[in-house]
Structure 1
Amino acid sequence: MGRRWIGSVVAAGVAAATMIAAAPAAAAGTIDKVGKVRDSGCAGRMIDHKAIIGETGRRLGQVELWYSSRNGGENCVITRSSVGRAEMIASLEVDRDGNKRWSSGDVRSADHGVYNSYAGGAYRTGTNRHCVRFQGLIWRSGDSGSAVSRWSHCS
């Protein structure tokens, strides 16, 4: 049930993120990156986070939204594992047209792979006055979980 459930969450939570929903399981050492991703994490300060709870009720980690005022505003997402090495996704979407739903003018960045501690930072610049949505997913040892935000941090 784990991967099928996560696939449903991805499809529903990130409707236009078909590359993530359709991404095959990453083998150790492989990385799929979409948009802007920096392996060194995120700049600025953490402004939001959500716990990632597995299907078994176990806390698997958290997804974090970071903000820096540089480059017209920069939002960045990290998915952090609390269970060690795991397959993870960190995803950020920016609502460029102000309708608070995914549409053709919007942009996203995502990082998907098997990591020891975190995935990301998936980031976008020029985010001031644009709503963002962030998501984290973790798969490990037969357990999986995700956390998806609403469109928020619009100022």
Structure 2
Amino acid sequence: MDPVLACDWRDDHGWWWLQVQRNGDGWELEAGSPHCSETIPFADPDEVRRLARTLLALPTEPEPYEAEWELSGPEIDAAGQRQPTGATLHVGLSRQDGHRPYLAYQSYYTTTLGPALGLEVFCDDAPVDALRPQAQTLLTLLTLLQES
């Protein structure tokens, strides 16, 4: 699957990424670190549309701004791999760090002892100039798919 919207970066530990991609008739978010990756589905195209619109609406001036998604998915995917049962995605402008744009992902798993934190992926200086055209392309694709 080719990502429609992708944000990746490298630090001292290796490559990290967050990307939105189509999976059959649905959409999913893939989060990756130098050591692992995981995917979780969006509930419906409207959630993906809201993400694209949020990225397009990120203010250029410093001001409080944040949007959040609560995603949920099956514990085991079609290939039999363990996947997160839930995740939170935040998009916003940092209040403490010069109002820089960020993307933050945190997954969790359901265990016999209760919920356990999973993968955390945090892009603390999101490349908004690269994400905006991707978000516009994503909105166009969603419109075309809805019309077909």
TM-score (norm 1): 0.30
More helix by share: 2
Say which one has the larger Rg.
2
